[in-house]
Amino acid sequence: MPRAIRGVLIECDPSIKSIIVNIDSKNHDFIIEDLDEERVVVKENMVGELKRRLEDRLKENLPPVEESGSE
């Protein structure tokens, strides 16, 4: 019998995807199904949290570009 699982499909670069997998690897509470290099299905209620954590991760690694130009 086929199954239907509610979730959110995330499509992104392989680099971002590996960060997502890494975030998930601690407690396995985000990912429902790892589809391929650029796609994962994530629990609906965790998307916001995932985005926040991803943002934090990226901030650690690449500092935001300084704003240039005069007012």
Partner 1 sequence: MSVSNMPALQLREYLERLPGTTFRKLYQQPSTAFAIFRRMLPHLAKTFVMRMLFMPAPMLLADLDIWVKPDAKKQKDQALFILQALHIVHISPPSREKPQEMQLTTNFKNSMRRALTGGGTHNSFGVPSTLVVPPEIDIPFLDRYARKKWEDILHFVVSSVGFKSAGEVSGPNKSVKELLIAGRLVERRPNGSIGITQTGFTFLLQEANAQVWTLLLLWLEAMETNKMAGLEAVDMLSFLFVLASMELGRAYDTNALTEQRRNMLPSLVDFGLIHVPHHKRSMFFPTRLATTLTSSGNSLRSISEGVAAATSAAFNGTSNSGGPPGHGPLKSSTELKGSVVVETNYRLYAYTSSTLQIAVLALFSKLNMRFPDMVAGRLTRASIRQAIQFGITADQIISYLAAHAHEQMHRTAALTNKPVLPPTVVDQIRLWQLENERMKTTGGFLFKDFEDQKEYLAVAQFAEEVGVLVWRNDKTGMFFASRHEQIRDLLRNRKKAE
DSSP label of 67 = P
Residue 42 host element (H or E)? strand 39-42
Q: Strand 39-42 and strand 31-36: pairing?
A: antiparallel
Q: Quick check: 49 binds partner 1 (CB under 8 A)?
A: no
Question: What SS3 class is residue 62?
Answer: coil
- Minimum CB separation of residue 4 from partner 1 in Å reads 5
The reply to whether 16 sits near partner 1 by the rule CB under 8 A is: yes
Applying CB under 8 A, the residues found at the interface with partner 1 are 1-13, 16, 32-33, 35-36, 39, 41, 44, 47, 51, 54, 58, 65, 67, 69, 71
